[in-house]
Structure 1
Amino acid sequence: MGSEVRWKLCWENELQLADHIELAEFFQKTYGPTGEFNAKPFEGSRSWAGARPELRAIAYDSGGVAAHLGVLRRFIKVGAVDLLVAELGLYGVRRDLERLGISHSIRVMLPTLQELEVPFAFGTVRPALQRHVERFGRHSPVTVLSGLRVQSTLPEARLDKPPTRIEDALVIVLPVGRSISDWPAGMTIERNGPEL
């Protein structure tokens, strides 16, 4: 690594236009190689894809943005239970720094999640990342759940698509203020909003 990485926690209303432009470019470069469509939401100065985060952990080095993790507090429905969570999403790391990994992002964010007094942090990832996430879960308090169906709304209402989508995703749960044994049973999760 060419320089030391420094982490900065930013509330969304603290970001300036230049920050959004820099983050949008970061996400285009990070998500673009996974498919042109994945970079499309970040055109211009838009630094979010679905729901807009309220808090961000951003790593910087001499090359600019090195990694990012967004947080949004929301109520989700797990089975029949409404549950407050801090949704984790908008995760990315610059290719030349992939060893930073999600574990560094979560370690930086954990004290803040505890201050937010949420019982759990929650996130979803594509099934293609299952091995990566399970490897990460072996060395942290994160639990990886599979076989769940997650329903989300689309970021914008469209005439050519239904307003919601259902995905089979890997669900990541990080106990923050409660034990993982308190996570509700249920095979469906309703976000009641767009994915972060």
Structure 2
Amino acid sequence: MRSEVRWRLCWENELELADHVELAEFFRKTYGPTGVFNAKPFEGSRSWAGARPELRAIAYDSSGVAAHMGLLRRFIKVDGVDLLVAELGLYGVRPNLEGLGIAHSIHVMFPTLQELQVPFAFGTVRPELRKHIARFGRHGMVTILSEIRVRSTLPHARIDLPPTRVEDPLVIVLPVGRSMSDWPTGTMIDRNGPEL
């Protein structure tokens, strides 16, 4: 039986060192099974992988952190068109709470997205998560876009790698202050920064 979950919305500067340590451990355990490389950014007390979120939705239960979603406002370019978005990412849920899912995270975050007056929330996921996201999207809250390339900067400048990478993820768009018909058409999104 699942324990009761409580959600906490907090700005990044409200987190204490103990919060970062707990979140880093949560991400190592959550992302580690998908590959050692995926857990590596969360060594020590680092509770982010690429860009650092400005706002977090964190679910807790009697065992600690149960789920997490980060938010970062930024301008992206969709085929050269500047667009303000709230990027959603750094998503994770403890394996024993799979039903808690992304839908709960977004429902908790949605009133804050409205307060921030962003036209859209945006995020990317691996194509392997299509079925998971499609289950959530069937209620019409999000639109899933495919065949769109996304260019991001690497979190750290390295002499052995180019400064940017281009991927073909699933793009998820959540209309907040505007309708989906206002989302620019295009096949390339420039994040102009590292992935959240």
Q: TM-score, normalised to structure 1's length?
A: 0.99
State whether structure 2 residue 15 is matched by structure 1 residue 3: no
State the partner residue of 1:164: 164
For residue 2 of structure 1, report the CA deviation from its aligned partner: 3.7
In the alignment, the residues of structure 1 paired with residue 61 and residue 169 of structure 2 have an alpha-carbon distance, to the nearest angstrom, of 32
State the partner residue of 2:98: 98
In the alignment, the residues of structure 2 paired with residue 37 and residue 131 of structure 1 have an alpha-carbon distance, to the nearest angstrom, of 24
State the partner residue of 1:89: 89
Report % sequence identity. Answer: 80
Q: How does 1:47-196 map to 2 (within 5 A)?
A: 47-196=47-196
In the alignment, the residues of structure 2 paired with residue 163 and residue 60 of structure 1 have an alpha-carbon distance, to the nearest angstrom, of 36
Q: Deviations over 1:168-195 (max 9, x none)?
A: 0100000000000000011000000000
Q: Deviations over 1:20-69 (max 9, x none)?
A: 00000000000000000000000000000000000000000000000000
The DSSP-based 3-state class of the residue aligned with 2:148 is strand
State the partner residue of 2:27: 27
Aligned 8 A contact 1:2 1:62 in 2: no
In the alignment, the residues of structure 1 paired with residue 88 and residue 2 of structure 2 have an alpha-carbon distance, to the nearest angstrom, of 28
In the alignment, the residues of structure 2 paired with residue 105 and residue 155 of structure 1 have an alpha-carbon distance, to the nearest angstrom, of 25
For residue 133 of structure 1, report the CA deviation from its aligned partner: 1.0
The DSSP-based 3-state class of the residue aligned with 2:97 is helix
Aligned 8 A contact 2:59 2:65 in 1: yes
Q: Aligned partner of 1:158: which letter?
A: R
Gaps of 5+ in 2: none
Please tell me the root mean square deviation across aligned C-alpha atoms, in Å: 0.6
In the alignment, the residues of structure 1 paired with residue 45 and residue 191 of structure 2 have an alpha-carbon distance, to the nearest angstrom, of 26
| Number of residues of Structure 1 aligned to a counterpart in Structure 2 | 196
Gaps of 5+ in 1: none
Distance 1:105 1:140, change over 3 A: farther
